[in-house]
Structure 1
Amino acid sequence: MTTTSSSPSPTSTPVTTGPAILVLEDGRTFHGEAFGAAGETFGEAVFNTGMTGYQETLTDPSYHRQVVVMTSPHVGNTGINDDDPESRRIWVAGYVVRDPARVPSSWRSRRTLDDELREHGVVGISGVDTRALTRHLRERGAMRVGISTTETDPAALLARVRSSAEMTGSELASEVSTTEAYVVPAHGEKRLTVAALDLGIKGMTPHRMAERGIEVHVLPATATLDDVLAVRPDGLFYSNGPGDPAATTHQVELLQGALERELPYFGICFGNQLFGRALGFGTYKLRYGHRGINQPVLDRTTGKVEVTAHNHGFAVDAPLDGPTETPFGRAEVSHVCLNDDVVEGLELRSPRGELRAFSVQYHPEAAAGPHDAAYLFDRFVTLITKDA
């Protein structure tokens, strides 16, 4: 469980200064300067390779209970604005940067990154050799970590790191989901209605659907199949989100019920993993995951390679060499990461070969870019209207 200081007002609290330490669960220790809120925090250490889009990263609910290490050495140069957040708050458990910008330079900036972290009570550390830290995580794998601006003894902090919660086995979607259903209206004329299960949804996702004339009913992660059917949807969507897909069972059962009713389905990231489990595949934890905006993926249905945005530490265990018969139809891997052959997409077809449902492991909404995969929302519209 993440513990931080309270969230002080940046107008009344001086900038956090002084030493800070970062301790990984294998004992590797890094010393730096306090950045963000004062206090202590714990989570899973992961690294993000994006050179831009840090505001979208911070507010992505999929990073809940994770301490994010930025591989780009200079972070914060465009400050923080009020237009780019992907959700209502910062979700990262902690933040690690090498060289934070002293003064932001953007006409859109409203406050500094340091101010924003302190306002949300996020403990961070700067002045760290993030290249060495990233290489360590690549070699040893993602692991638990602690950051403290109050503890001076690495051994004492290490003991608390090792007693903190692990990501494997954690059900976290319910902790980041909306508690009340809401509607994102279609832009212009309404063409379709989609029920979107919020497992950690980013704001740009329903926006991308609304651009295509879809009225999006965003439902809590605890929604039932009856709740989904009550909005009379033309299609069902599952969002990204945090946690171990093997620990998430209710949403898998809901999806199986929807597939039995042949409701068109599209899933992103966590929605891909839960789709895989609904089809009977397993999931597993990646050694250090994919996080960044420069991951090459092959769309096997078109033969095209896309540069894509990723944020996932788990993956679907499905065969790459052919289709699998399931109770709902024929399932097959549709997308593969060209770096490591990790499954990056699934599709489900009827016995007649018609597409019934599909999902991708990456983020086609990608507010910070790239936008190579935005066509997937059009594919969802085509899937729905073909069945209408």
Structure 2
Amino acid sequence: MKFKFNCKIVFSDGEKFFGESLCYKTNIFSEIVFNTSNLGYEEIITDPSYSNQSLVLTTPHVGNTGINFYDSESSRIWLSCLITRNIFKSISNNFRFVKNIFSFLKKNKIILLNGFDTRSITKKITRGYNYACILHNKNYNVNKKIFIFSNILEKIPYVKYSSTKISYLFCNFSSNFYQKKNFLFLRKVIVLDFGLKISILRNLVKKNIFPFIINYKFLSNINLNNFDGIVLSNGPGNPKIYKKIIKKIKKIKKPILAICFGHQIYSLSKNFDIEKLIFGHHGSNHPVSFKKKCFISSQNHNYFCKRKTKIFSLLDNTNQGFYNKKVISFQGHPEASPGTNDFLFLFRKFFKILR
């Protein structure tokens, strides 16, 4: 397959990768990560946890099932750039097809890089090269001093932009729910939105948990006595810069369900150390040891809690969560999307501790 080599990715050591640029063309400097999922690209690119990141998809062919919008995890694409080996530009014959991924990215003005050696780029990232310049001018030379700004990127409060601006109720119950008069079994929770995936809300509702979603800054305005528990959602960026919300979480005595970024916020509220991983965990095939059993989880995070625990990653032994009578805190994504259903039981367990 022929590609027009009109774009390059430049890393801090000067190594360059060439390919073609499609859709929106502009020069950027950003954090670069990779995702090992073979499927679920619609869920991945609409996940707010990827805010302002350049994302490499390791699967060699992307886009053959198109976009259907029901699988989208939010109302927009959050990443800055999508990097693929080969992207499908034609109309898909998938029965759920609404729009092809190429048109979807183009409409949202997202940089799409195609024809790149994604295997080599992935290996580069695993060696600790987490930042790169994406340039659309072959003759443009990169000053290595620009990589000094990588420290600044880690201090940007991305959650400020990914969190909801208004408070709202998520009421997606089926008609059978109302007919059965299950309101006595309904549990009300506050969901702190750091960059929420809609699949989390859908799974809460399936377990008769009624979520009220608020901006993470509004917690002090809420009377928690009116609710049975609190959910700390996933989100983008460095959790250590949100010191005010960490102090507020320390005072909460209600049952807590913490997911991904929320797990890191909860860990900090317990004075546990948080550090950045060399290249992060991003994919739907990460094995986790939970109660001496192996589960496959969906992961999307660059930071981890240093506290040792019995719930840990079987890839690098990093902390994957805490589990007790009042708290379910998980570093991965129990809702998956994309991924397996191995950890869906955590929503059922959360309902039980709310009772």
TM-score (norm 2): 0.91
CA contact (8 A) 2:4 2:19 kept: no
1:207 aligns with 2:170: no
Q: What per-residue deviation string (whole Å, max 9, x for no partner) do you get for residues 261-320 of structure 1?
A: x200110000110111111101000000100000000113xx2211110000000010x2
Task: Specify whether residues 265 and 245 from structure 1 end up closer, same or farther in structure 2 by C-alpha distance, changes over 3 A only.
Answer: same
Which whole-Å CA distance do the structure 2 matches of 1:237 and 1:95 have between them?
30
Secondary structure of the structure 1 residue equivalent to 2:257? strand
Task: Say if 2:49 is the partner of 1:62.
Answer: yes
Same amino acid, percent of matched pairs: 29
Q: Aligned residue for 1:196? A: 191
- Contact 1:236/1:266, CA 8 A, preserved across alignment: yes
Greater fraction helix: 2
Residue deviations 1:221-247 (CA, integer Å, cap 9, x gap): 2112332527x1101000000111111
Q: Distance in 2 between matches of 1:167 and 1:36?
A: 25
The counterpart of 2:116, out of the listed 106, 113, 128, is 128
- The answer to whether the 8 A contact 1:43-1:145 is kept is yes
| 2:285 corresponds to 1:294 | yes
Mapping for residues 175-254 of structure 1, pairs under 5 Å: 175-185=161-171, 187=173, 188=177, 189-190=182-183, 191-227=186-222, 229=224, 232-254=226-248
On the 8 A contact 2:230/2:256 being kept in 1, the answer is yes
* Other-structure match for 1:313: 302
CA contact (8 A) 2:24 2:106 kept: yes
> Which residue of structure 2 lines up, in the alignment, with residue 325 of structure 1?
none
Residue pair 2:89, 2:102 contacting (<8 A) in 1 also: no
In structure 2, what is the Cα distance between the partners aligned to 1:283 and 1:179? 28
**In 2, Cα distance between equivalents of 1:377 and 1:193:** 14
Q: Any unmatched runs of 5+ in structure 2?
A: none
Query: Take 1:170 and 1:38, find their aligned partners in 2: how far apart are those partners?
Result: 24
> Matched residues in 2 for 1:87 and 1:334: separation?
33
Does residue 1:274 correspond to 2:265, yes or no?
yes
Comparing 120-129 and 157-166, the one that deviates more = 157-166
Q: Flag the 1:159–1:110 CA change in 2: closer, same or farther, 3 A.
A: farther
1:368 to 323, 332, 338: 338
Q: Deviations over 1:201-232 (max 9, x none)?
A: 001101100111111000102112332527x1
TM-score using structure 1 length: 0.84
- What one-letter code is carried by the residue in structure 2 that aligns with 1:129? D
Instruction: Tell me, yes or no, if the aligned pair for 1:44 and 1:142 is still in contact at 8 Å.
Output: no
Structure 1's unaligned 5+ residue stretches are 1-15, 321-332, 349-354
Q: Note closer, same or farther for the CA distance 1:223–1:334 as it changes in structure 2 (3 Å cut).
A: farther
- Structure 2 equivalent of residue 113 of structure 1: 101
Determine which of 19, 38, 54 is the counterpart of 1:51: 38
Pick closer, same or farther for the CA change 1:375–1:70 going to 2, 3 Å: same
Q: RMSD value over aligned CA atoms?
A: 1.9
Q: Is the 8 A contact 1:23 1:30 kept in 2?
A: yes
Amino acid at match of 1:98: R
- In 2, Cα distance between the equivalents of 1:205 and 1:383? 17
* Structure with more strand by fraction: 1
The answer on whether the counterparts of 2:288 and 2:320 sit within 8 Å (CA) in structure 1 is yes
CA drift of 1:17 comes to 7.2
**1:270/1:142 Cα in 2 relative to 1: closer, same or farther (>3 Å)?**
farther
Correspondence for 1:342 among 318, 326, 333 = 318
What code does the residue aligned with 2:187 have?
A: L
2:349 corresponding residue in structure 1: 379
